[in-house]
Amino acid sequence: MPSYDAENLPEREEDIDYSDIEAAYQVDNQEGFDTIVIVDNAPVVDDDKVGKLNDRIGKVFSKVGPIKEGGVWIPMEENNGKKVSKGYIFIDYETPEAAALAVKTLHHTMFGSKNQLQVNRFSDVERYKSVPETFEAPEEEDFEEKEHLRSWLTDPQSRDQFVMYRGDDVSIYWNRKSEQPDHEHSRTNWTETYVQWSPLGAYLATFHRQGIALWGGPSWNKIIRFVHPGVKLIDFSPNERYLITWSNEPLSLHRIPEGSPNPFTEDDEGNQAIVWDTLTGALLRSFPNLPVSGDEAPRAIVWPMFRWSATDKYFARITPGQQISVYEAPDMGLVDKKSLKIDGVMDFEWAPRAKDADPKKDFEEKLVYWTPEMGNQPARVTLISFPTREVIRTKNLFNVNDCKLHWQSSGQFLAVKVDRHTKTKKSTFTNLEIFNTAERTVPVETLEIKDVVLAFAWEPNGERFAVITTNDPAFTAPPPGGAPGQQPTYKTNITFYHLDKSKTLAVFKPFKTLERRTTNHLFWSPKGRHIVLATLRSSTVWDLDFVDLDFDGTEKKEGKTEDPGASVQLVATQEHYGVTDVEWDPTGRYVITGASMWRPNAGDHGYCIWDFKGQLLYKQNVDKFKQLLWRPRPSTLLTKEQQKKIRKNLRDYSKTFEEEDLAATQSVSKEIMAHRKRLLDEWYNWRKRVEAELAEERAPSLGNPIMASNYKDQYANPFSDPAVNTSDPLLTSIEPDVDIGIAPSNPSTSYASPRPTQYISGNIGSSTQANSTGTLGADGYTMDTLDEPVTETIMRDVRSIAQKLRQVLHPKGRRDVLKDWDLWGPLILCLALAILLSIEAPEKQAVIVFTGVFVIVWVGAAVVTLNAKLLGGAVSFFQSVCVLGYCLFPLVIAALVGLFVRMIWVRLPLAVAAFGWSTFASVGFFSDIQLGNRRALAVYPMFLFYFIIAWMVLISKNA
């Protein structure tokens, strides 16, 4: 310490040494005031009770973090000659984090019965002091009209939307039943992982490295975004007011780029789950993952991590084996500042609220949880009300392996699926414990199921449910290995239960069982009644069973004793190769099944749209198909009386809908007709021009200048004639993308054409088949034959057979006659030949000969067809049978003559001639199968075929 010398004082003030004073009163600038909090509204006590108040305050506030020694200071003042506290207290913590936690958890804490503490940071005092004393109105912002988030509900046709994610593209479509969906909006790289609708359909959420973005409105603009780096999972509250995001990476503030939105504070450092307000975008609170002890393995994330109550008022999460923590929105604080301490708690669920419930009435929140057996204490299911935490009902269970909680959609019934074991633990079985919460005493009904229950599902808004059970010896448990997502296929039974009210005490009873199926998933229609039984993610089976539980269309009345199982009908069984996902639309009228590339062993990537009866309406194979989701609909705003009135007048509304459907169909038909007419106009104009040019080139050489005009008129467009009705339904049978060949009225006349004309028939070498319900008219169009007389149909077939037989007898004529194949003629000729040869055969061999003729004809046709196919020809099996059968006609004539003429010198030349005639005729008909220089190899089997038949004709009994 410097000594004081009065004679040697420094000349200037700057030369004075203050080092000893600075050392004695040095202030650590690193500490600041971040560790200090101010507690307002503290009890006012006199000097005698200050020590007791100090101890109590220190005990309460030290729970959130260590307080510095002497860190609690209670200011005092004089009041009527006594020293009393001023009503506020300063507390100095060891760390700023402890001070921040004190503000967050102890603010508004009740201290005694009269004082609610107000806890704030000391550093906030300056911020509060800077508030101006006079109010200054903020600048009024210009009103900007925003798009309505539920505008899609005003669609005039009441259609539903769905989103499809394929490759890098995300697209929104309108469903059009059996027509191609209407495209609404698309964007490339709209999301990086997947997309998700909000529960009521107002928002479409997309995932990005920086966070989540919500989109909506008619223009699909960005509504709001939430910054959460590395976000992987999200969960909306039931009413879309709040959003929870989760990332597997703890939040790190220094990793957020400078200049980018940063709603986080130091309190959020290291947390992984964040709660947001979807209206304002505000960060309400963040949470870390559940802590893990040193010896405990990291817990798998169970999503949703937080579970919302039906009213969005509460959300909770479980710490397995310890407690359930319930938080209240929008304050995000722990309800009553404490969790539900429950030893061994394994799972819990909030009770849902009926969609048609009156929102004005108070709704009692209920929560159910279960605990396993511990020591001598049995397993237990407990139902409590909230926030009173009053126990409503408990149920003790024994020999329990696991429990699953299933609420009915209206919250009236709770089904607990209990997997139990015998005392020896060598076998297992399942019980269903059903709680009826609508009754005051909450009775519990027990249903024992001997087989293993694989799945359980309530009917929405109903009193029925379905279960999938199996007694397959191959079933053990979900395989530990194997491809992710792939599920083994077992033989299963599906049983439907209903609430039987025929007696005084209503009980659940099974009323229908579908046995020996492979179903592993249940999908109820949102409106109930219909259900899809699906076999998903299997490598061998992809069945879809559509079941109607009220097939007779009548609603069962209470008290009826009729068998409810009689109305259960399997209306359709379909298959979608590689199906991985099934989803009903919000109306319950359509079902979409998809095969996603995200799933292993998926088949043809794409989707199918079915109606509720299992009829395929639309199918689309989509490359790199990933995801398809129906857009949810909010609950109806109609009252029950209005809905009842609509059901009563449904027939009147149906007429309006049918008229709209008919108008839409006619509109589409007019567009197709106009398109086809344009194509035909282009075709005839082009052909007329080419014919005219060709006629001009040929006229000088033929010495006939009139030919050009004849060619010009030969192919006049019939649509250019005003007398032709362009709305003729015959025109609807012509597809615009098919090469239309019009047969000329004079078959012997040929015309120049850019390519060979294809007649609408079943020709050899042509992929175009004849219409099974029509015939060719004089103008070449397919005519409907469903309404013609039967005699006309028979006579047309007879004339066709006669024409083909004439062609066999005169092979040099039109060889294309037999290309339009049929099986009537071959059947008659084969039957006639078999009868004739069996008559001539010995009595014991008649049956063998009769059968042999049929076998030779069909096997011969198969051999000829296979040989032609291997040689590269274009021929089908039935075309081969037609040709070989009709060319049997000469041999049938020879067999008929041989029946009356027994002289060998007459029968031999006759059989040889018939053999040659049949072979020659069939070879001519097979000239168009494009074999080239391999034609002889194709003729050889036909030679053997007719040689065997001719030999059988020659060596008959009477020869």
CATH number of the domain where residue 122 is located: 3.30.70.330
Tokens (6 digits) for 860: 């011969």
Q: Does residue 557 surpass a pLDDT of 70?
A: no
Least confident span in 202-211, 326-335, 740-749: 740-749
Quote the pLDDT of residue 27: 58
Q: Does residue 865 surpass a pLDDT of 80?
A: no
In a domain, 844, yes or no: yes
Q: Are 283 and 263 in contact (CB under 8 A)?
A: yes
In a domain, 47, yes or no: yes
pTM higher than 0.75 for the full model? no
Please indicate whether residue 300 or residue 264 has the higher confidence score (pLDDT): 264
Q: Are 14 and 82 in contact (CB under 8 A)?
A: no
pLDDT, one tens digit per residue, over 878-906 is 777 788 888 888 888 888 887 787 777 77
In a domain, 602, yes or no: no
Q: Which of 130, 161, 177 is the last residue of a domain?
A: 130
Q: Which of 130, 154, 187 is the last residue of a domain?
A: 130
**Is the Cα torsion angle 535, 540, 542, 543 positive or negative in sign?**
negative
Quote the pLDDT of residue 770: 37
Q: Provide the domain limits for residue 881.
A: 814-956
In a domain, 482, yes or no: no
Quote the pLDDT of residue 751: 34
Instruction: Please report which confidence band the pLDDT of residue 175 belongs to, taking 50, 70 and 90 as the band edges.
Output: very high
Q: Which of 111, 130, 149 is the last residue of a domain?
A: 130
Q: Are 174 and 155 in contact (CB under 8 A)?
A: yes
What is the CB-side half-sphere exposure of residue 715 using CA atoms within 13 A?
25
Quote the pLDDT of residue 600: 74
Quote the pLDDT of residue 344: 94
Quote the pLDDT of residue 868: 75
Average pLDDT over residues 180-206: 96
Give how many domains the chain has, as a whole number. Answer: 2
Average pLDDT over residues 523-550: 93
% of the chain beyond a pLDDT of 70 = 81
Quote the pLDDT of residue 821: 73
Quote the pLDDT of residue 776: 38
pLDDT, one tens digit per residue, over 812-838 is 665 555 556 778 888 888 888 888 888
Quote the pLDDT of residue 727: 45
Quote the pLDDT of residue 907: 80
Q: Does residue 7 surpass a pLDDT of 70?
A: no
Establish whether the linkage from the previous residue to 387 is cis, with ω within 30° of 0.
Answer: yes
Per the prediction, the chain carries an average pLDDT of 81
Strands 625-630, 616-621: pairing is unpaired
In a domain, 65, yes or no: yes
Residue 226 to residue 367: CA distance in whole angstroms: 30
Q: Are 211 and 276 in contact (CB under 8 A)?
A: no
In a domain, 897, yes or no: yes
Angle at CA of residue 98, ends 94 and 99, nearest 5°: 90
Q: Does residue 512 surpass a pLDDT of 50?
A: yes
Residue 672 to residue 220: CA distance in whole angstroms: 32
Q: Which of 200-214, 804-818, 922-936 has the highest mean pLDDT?
A: 200-214
Quote the pLDDT of residue 495: 96
The residue type of 819 is: K
Cα–Cα nearest to 37, from 97, 89, 82, 108: 89
Cα–Cα nearest to 282, from 260, 256, 264, 267: 264
In a domain, 821, yes or no: yes
Instruction: Please report which confidence band the pLDDT of residue 663 belongs to, taking 50, 70 and 90 as the band edges.
Output: confident
Q: Does residue 294 surpass a pLDDT of 80?
A: no
Radius of gyration of the chain (CA): 44
Please indicate whether residue 709 or residue 401 has the higher confidence score (pLDDT): 401
Tokens (6 digits) for 630: 């129906």
Instruction: Please report which confidence band the pLDDT of residue 514 belongs to, taking 50, 70 and 90 as the band edges.
Output: very high
Please indicate whether residue 494 or residue 24 has the higher confidence score (pLDDT): 494
Residue 288 to residue 597: CA distance in whole angstroms: 33
Quote the pLDDT of residue 481: 42
Residue 351 to residue 356: CA distance in whole angstroms: 15
Average pLDDT over residues 543-560: 74
Question: Strand ranges (DSSP E) for 360-479?
Answer: 365-371, 379-386, 391-397, 400-407, 413-421, 428-436, 444-449, 452-458, 464-470
Least confident span in 496-500, 798-802, 820-824: 820-824
In a domain, 853, yes or no: yes
Quote the pLDDT of residue 559: 46
Residue 19 to residue 16: CA distance in whole angstroms: 9
